[in-house]
């Protein structure tokens, strides 16, 4: 059952434990306009207890203009996934665009979700990640690869997921100088076979 407002994790977002996608949809309908985020708590598959699928949970969130982010294991029986209102200007992944198309075809978009979609289509963020999804190397990164021998070959050897993550990191830069730094780091690190934008623990 939904338990919005009970239990806090880190930043104070409520935990919402549901067993059906309908319960999750009901919580979103009631709280999407006033909540700043929530942890969707569900039973883990080995428990055999009912829970909405990832696709169902994300699809319902998109209806109301929300999006998923961080996933965590809560305990041996439960996991949780953070959802929050989509930030204006953030890029849309291809899987989420497919979900939106399905929602529109079924006439299931809520007004809040439709408003977020319209804003994204107006400001260009709707198509921001299209080239990223196709793993297209932008011109500035291609030039940086040319300036660092071996970087392009090693870049091509990276897994698709790694290349996609780095390309998204580059295109999401808000300022030209930030993008330039990210492009340079990507090429410089690719030359010896290293990946840019990798978290490293402090010594």
Query: pLDDT tens for residues 13-61?
Result: 999 999 999 999 999 999 999 999 999 999 999 999 999 999 999 999 9
Which of 39, 68, 90 is the last residue before a domain boundary?
Answer: 90
Asked if 183 and 170 touch (Cβ cutoff 8 Å), the reply is: yes
**102 lies in a domain?**
no
Residue 199 has what pLDDT?
A: 75
Distances (CA, A) of 53 to 22, 29, 44, 67: 12, 19, 10, 15
Residue 105 has what pLDDT?
A: 98
Shared domain for 35 and 84, answered yes or no, is yes
Residue 114 has what pLDDT?
A: 98
**51 lies in a domain?**
yes
Tally of structural domains, the chain: 2
Give the separation between CA 69 and CA 77, rounded to whole angstroms. 21
pLDDT category of residue 9 using cuts at 50, 70 and 90? very low
Model confidence at 2: pLDDT above 60: no
Shared domain for 135 and 86, answered yes or no, is no
Give the separation between CA 28 and CA 198, rounded to whole angstroms. 34
Structure tokens at 90: 């953030």
Which of 66, 90, 114 is the last residue before a domain boundary?
Answer: 90
**Helix H segments across the chain?**
21-31, 54-63, 94-105, 111-123, 130-133, 139-147, 151-157, 160-171, 176-190
Model confidence at 8: pLDDT above 80: no
Model confidence at 7: pLDDT above 50: no
Give the domain CATH number at 76: 3.40.50.150
- Domain span at residue 179 reads 130-190
**201 lies in a domain?**
no
Closest to 137 measured CA to CA, from 149, 115, 116, 153: 153
**180 lies in a domain?**
yes
**164 lies in a domain?**
yes
Distances (CA, A) of 39 to 70, 83, 182: 9, 6, 31
Shared domain for 84 and 135, answered yes or no, is no
Model confidence at 10: pLDDT above 70: no
Shared domain for 14 and 69, answered yes or no, is yes
CA 154 to chain centre: 26
Q: Enter the pTM of the model.
A: 0.83
Q: What is the pLDDT of residues 140-163, one digit of tens each?
A: 999 999 999 999 999 999 999 999
pLDDT category of residue 201 using cuts at 50, 70 and 90? low
**179 lies in a domain?**
yes
**82 lies in a domain?**
yes
Which of 41, 71, 90 is the last residue before a domain boundary?
Answer: 90
Q: Give the residue, 1 or 79, on which the prediction is more confident.
A: 79
**104 lies in a domain?**
no
Q: What is the pLDDT of residues 105-130, one digit of tens each?
A: 999 999 999 999 999 999 999 999 99
Neighbours of 155 (CB within 10 A): 23
Model confidence at 75: pLDDT above 90: yes
């Amino acid at each position: 059952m939904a338990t919005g407002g009970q239990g806090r994790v880190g930043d104070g977002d409520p935990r919402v434990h549901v067993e059906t996608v309908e319960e999750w949809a009901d919580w979103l309908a009631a709280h999407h306009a006033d909540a700043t985020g929530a942890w969707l708590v569900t039973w883990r598959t080995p428990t055999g207890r009912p829970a909405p699928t990832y696709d169902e949970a994300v699809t319902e969130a998109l209806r109301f203009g929300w999006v998923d982010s961080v996933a965590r294991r809560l305990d041996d029986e439960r996991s949780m996934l953070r959802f929050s209102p989509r930030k204006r200007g953030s890029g849309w992944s291809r899987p989420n665009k497919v979900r939106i198309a399905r929602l529109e075809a079924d006439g299931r978009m809520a007004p809040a979700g439709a408003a977020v979609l319209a804003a994204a289509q107006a400001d260009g963020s709707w198509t921001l990640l299209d080239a990223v999804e196709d793993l297209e190397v932008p011109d500035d990164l291609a030039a940086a690869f040319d300036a660092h021998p071996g970087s392009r070959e090693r870049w091509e050897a990276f897994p698709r997921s790694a290349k996609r993550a780095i390309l998204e990191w580059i295109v999401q830069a808000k300022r030209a100088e930030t993008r330039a730094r990210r492009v340079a780091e990507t090429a410089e690190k690719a030359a010896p076979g290293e990946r840019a934008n990798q978290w490293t623990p402090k010594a």
